[in-house]
Amino acid sequence: MYVCSCFGITEAQVKRHADSGACTPRQIASACKAGTDCGGCVRRIQALLGRGDCSRRELVEGRTPSAGAPAGAPAALGVPADVRLSDAA
């Protein structure tokens, strides 16, 4: 299934780039241009990367989300609440 119609990028291609180390929509965009034209696919790319289940840092470090805090909450990451966490504009 196509994720990015502008550049003809499929889910499988996005997943391959993620498996190769691309952790953010920006890194996916650098690898294959997906999300750099109309931007309509950025949320789908985020979903494929698993953003929302838990932060990528926790996944990479093999940790589970902090108990009592929503997954990816700024406090769980030690990031001030006013810092923007999303790569997508």
**Taking the model in full, what pTM does it have?**
0.57
Range of the domain at 37: 2-71
Q: Which alpha helices (H) appear in the chain, and where do they start and end?
A: 11-19, 25-32, 42-48, 56-61, 74-77
25 vs 11: CA distance, rounded Å: 13
10 vs 5: CA distance, rounded Å: 9
Residue 80 within any structural domain of the chain: no
Higher pLDDT, 42 or 88: 42
- Joined together, the tokens standing for residue 80 give 């001030």
Residue 81 within any structural domain of the chain: no
| Number of domains present in the structure of the chain | 1
Give the model confidence (pLDDT) of 1-52 as tens digits: 999 999 999 999 999 999 998 989 999 999 999 999 999 999 999 999 986 4
For residue 55, CA distances in Å to 4, 7, 29, 65, 89 come to: 23, 27, 19, 8, 18
Q: Residue 50 belongs to a domain with what CATH number?
A: 1.10.10.1100
Please name which of 29, 32, 31 lies closest in space to residue 88, comparing C-alpha atoms.
29
